Amino acid sequence: MSNTFLKLNGTDFVEFYVGNAKQAAYFYMTAFGFQPLAYRGLETGDKEKTSYVLKQGKVTLVMTAALTPDSPVAEHQKLHGDGIKFIALWVDDARSAFEETTKRGAKPFLEPTVIKDDDGEVVKSGIYTYGETVHLFIERKNYKGSFMPGFVKWESEYKTEEIGFKYVDHLVGNVGWNEMEKTAQFYYDVMGFTKFASFDDKDISTDYTALQSIVVTNDNRRIKFPINEPAKGKKKSQIEEYLDFYHGPGGQHIALATDNIIHAVSELRKRGIEFLYIPDDYYDSVPERVGEIDEDLKVLKKLGILVDKDDKGYLLQIFTKPVQDRPTFFFEIIQRKGAESFGKGNFKALFVSIEKEQERRGTL
């Protein structure tokens, strides 16, 4: 089933509402190797909020913080902590994207709006998805500036070496009990997505924690959104822990694609990024489970990189610890060598590791 009513070219940017955009931007430059792109704030006439736009490969992140206590940014940050507000999607026609999705039941966030500067114009519109998270539709075909009207080029003398991130492989949302099917249905009906894969608690459970997941994708498959919901286990699911601390549904992790995960993870570790701990014995079964791989297993083991395969090839992946104070959002780094799946074979090892972290936090 393909759709003709909503054509999405890919992810345009992901915008976080954070407590301190300046320091968050420094973190993403220093640790993740993002490059300064654009800025908005008091100096550009915005008295309510300030934003730093960072870029690496095709990944654009925006860090936004409130300048006043009554800003919606402050409200969002107070409730949810630092987290994703906008998952912006790149379209050729933001007016029709808004019309077609709201006609099919999407809750509007922003009517089509034209913004202009000397570099041209951008049309943007937006609809709500899970929780307070919003999909913006960004039409930039008549714009030649670096980011968007309202922003100026961010001139920074501070530059760091890129890590080698290329694009957003997938972006995961956590939703509440009995909301996964409903959320997937929203993507099918309202956005014309199809089901890419699904996992249930038989795939994903340990002694304690459990979750189920449906992955939805758009026509050209450049956008993949796995949707997780908790499942019943002996103790509290990691998804429940997220929902408790985020106070509702929201973005759980972004998977960043790289062509060289060994380099990426070595570099990230050097720059202070912490990853979930994987016990050494995980690697004992890798040769049998995955078969031959190009990488040296000893190196993967040293770095804590996980391996899984499907019928199309294999993949290498690793998960950071949460990147802010609340145990909510984190990153995945992924290198695909043919495989199109999401590392189902690693779920068990990962969840045991996550549970150890939960135990330390007293949230299990």
Nearer to Fe ion, 33 or 251 (CB): 251
CA distance 178 to 189: 18
Nearer to Fe ion, 124 or 253 (CB): 253
Residue 338 CB, shortest distance to Fe ion, in Å, is 17
Residue 206 CB, shortest distance to Fe ion, in Å, is 17
Backbone angles phi, psi at 317, to 5 degrees: -150, 160
Q: Length of the chain in residues, anyone?
A: 364
Residue 308 CB, shortest distance to Fe ion, in Å, is 11
CA angle (18, 359, 233) in 5-degree steps: 100
Residue 344 CB, shortest distance to Fe ion, in Å, is 11
* Interface positions with Fe ion (CB under 5 A): 255, 332
Q: Which of 148, 94, 154, 155 is nearest to 118 (CA)?
A: 148
Q: Which of 280, 282, 199, 216 is nearest to 8 (CA)?
A: 216
- State the DSSP string of 238-289: HHHHHHHHHTS-EEEEEEEEES-HHHHHHHHHHTT--B----GGGGGGHHHH
Residue 254 CB, shortest distance to Fe ion, in Å, is 8
Backbone angles phi, psi at 285, to 5 degrees: -95, -5
Nearer to Fe ion, 53 or 163 (CB): 163
User: How many H-runs (helices) and E-runs (strands) does the chain carry?
Assistant: 9, 17
CA distance 97 to 354: 38
Q: Which of 57, 109, 24 is nearest to 258 (CA)?
A: 57
Element (H, E) at 102: helix 94-103
Nearer to Fe ion, 139 or 332 (CB): 332
User: The tokens of 254 are what?
Assistant: 């972004």
Nearer to Fe ion, 125 or 206 (CB): 206
CA distance 198 to 180: 11
CA quadruple 26, 27, 31, 37: dihedral sign: negative
Residue 225 CB, shortest distance to Fe ion, in Å, is 11
Nearer to Fe ion, 129 or 174 (CB): 174
CA angle (256, 261, 263) in 5-degree steps: 120
User: The tokens of 92 are what?
Assistant: 């050729």
Nearer to Fe ion, 168 or 255 (CB): 255
Tokens 């074979």 -> residue? 345
Nearer to Fe ion, 109 or 330 (CB): 330
Residue 343 CB, shortest distance to Fe ion, in Å, is 7
Residue 170 CB, shortest distance to Fe ion, in Å, is 6
